[in-house]
Structure 1
Amino acid sequence: MTLSLNAVRRAAPAEASRVSQLLQACGKDIQNRLGLNNWAVPYPLELVQAQAEAGFVWVLEEEGQFLGTFTLDFTLPDEYQPDWFTEPHAPAAYLHRLAVAPDIQGRGLGAYALREVERVAREAGAHWLRFDAYSRNAGIQTFYRKQGFARLREFQMILPSLGHPDTFTLYEKKL
């Protein structure tokens, strides 16, 4: 899928509720289609708003409709250990909440979004793109490997939606 060049942009803080609605729709879709609950509890609107204010939230938009979103920051998440990575101290970007509207999934927008994530990260000076994905979601695991991401390791993390530790897979890609 190809969108116009201005279709990928930072979300304004006032758009946080629209981004949150998209994330909620994706969470419900994951739960309904796959029976997975890792996105079942919505991300707090305050978190999305604060990250939008910091310039970390991006949207993929066409004709005013949000087709997808991602959050990209440059701080090692607390759940990660630096020695888990190939070059622990190299400049890196950390991807969170890559989502595509459920009604248009499967048309290449996720791959397009990842290419845009990589572009934004490179332009910000990152040498690596890193993130985790829910290990029980076999489809997303396959998708990320097809996009050239290296699987580094599995680790345990507790999400509010799960209420107990579960396994996540850590990925990275040299930019």
Structure 2
Amino acid sequence: MIIEKSTPHDLSAHMELYEQAIAYQHALGKVNWKGFDARAVLEEIKNGQHYKIVLDNQIACVFLLTASDPIIWQEKDKDPAIYIHRIATNPEFRGQNFVNIIIEFVKDLARKERKSFIRMDTTAGNERLNQYYEKCGFTIVDVVTIKEAVDMPAHYQNNSFTLFEMLL
């Protein structure tokens, strides 16, 4: 297994995994994501924010890391943190605990960058996912409502989010 930064060549794989994740959310009756703009994802990839987990020469999982998330985390965004976003797993590789693998990867990165927290958010009200993230070591910090989120994916508009953090 390899974790490495994604390249522009990986854009179609990212977009496909996002679509598969949205379909899975629909099947569970927990529709969170509303799709992502390929141009924005490509820009994030070029900026070095997207990562992939490669297993058996296939992209098994993708995720996004940011050093800031002011719209969601507001005043707490001033804290030294790394933010995990958009974990999407290839359906052929579900059940392999990629969230825990990502957490360990991000812990190492956060320590190197002298960050104190690892943070993430998810659409509020998904108790199953909340419990899973808590089992992975995160603590629920707050639930926030975002009215208008310019330059963010559509699912952030007029929606509430559960905020999670892990102190290093």
TM-score normalised per structure 2:
0.86
1:118-129 to 2 correspondence within 5 Å? 118-129=107-118
In structure 2, how many angstroms separate the alpha carbons of the residues matched to 1:30 and 1:99? 11
Hey, what's the Cα distance between the residues in 1 that align with 2:24 and 2:128? 14
Greater percentage in helix: 2
Question: In the alignment, is residue 16 of structure 1 matched against residue 5 of structure 2?
Answer: no
Match of 1:76 in 2: 69
Deviation at 1:124, TM superposition (A): 2.9
- Report if the CA contact (8 A) 1:23-1:42 is conserved: yes
Name the residue aligned to 1:63. Answer: 56
Letter in 2 for 1:37: V
Structure 2 vs 1, CA of residues 24 and 74 (structure 1 numbering), >3 Å: closer, same or farther? same
Residue 160 (structure 1) aligns with: 154
CA distance in 2: counterparts of 1:166 and 1:37, whole angstroms: 12
What SS class does the counterpart of residue 79 from structure 1 fall into? Answer: helix
Q: Deviations over 1:76-101 (max 9, x none)?
A: 3323211xx4xx63321111102222
Runs of 4+ aligned residues of structure 1 deviating over 6 Å after TM superposition are none
Q: 2:18, 2:158 → 1: CA distance?
A: 22
Distance in 2 between residues matched to 1:73 and 1:166, nearest whole Å: 21
Unaligned runs of 5+ in 1: none
Instruction: After superposing the two structures, state which structure 1 stretch, 112-121 or 143-152, moved more.
Output: 112-121
- Aligned pair count reads 163
Identity of aligned residues (%): 23
Residue type of the alignment partner of 2:134 = R
**Alignment pair present for 1:98 and 2:83:** no
Indicate the RMSD between aligned Cα atoms, in angstroms: 2.0
Tell me, in whole angstroms, the C-alpha distance in 2 between the residues paired with 1:139 and 1:71: 22
Q: Is the 8 A contact 1:100 1:110 kept in 2?
A: no
Q: Which residue, out of 24, 32, 41, partners 1:48? A: 41
Q: Which 5+ residue runs of structure 2 have no aligned equivalent?
A: 148-152
Per the TM alignment, residue 161 of structure 1 is displaced from its structure 2 partner at its CA by 4.5
8 A contact 2:35–2:154 mirrored in 1: no
Provide, for residues 60-116 of structure 1, a one-character-per-residue CA deviation record: whole Å limited to 9, x for no partner.
01232111111001123323211xx4xx63321111102222332223222222222
* Contact residue 65 and residue 82 of structure 2 kept, 8 A: yes
Alignment of 1:37 onto 2:26:
no
* Aligned twin of 1:117: 106
Paired with 2:129 and 2:92, the residues of 1 have a C-alpha distance of 17
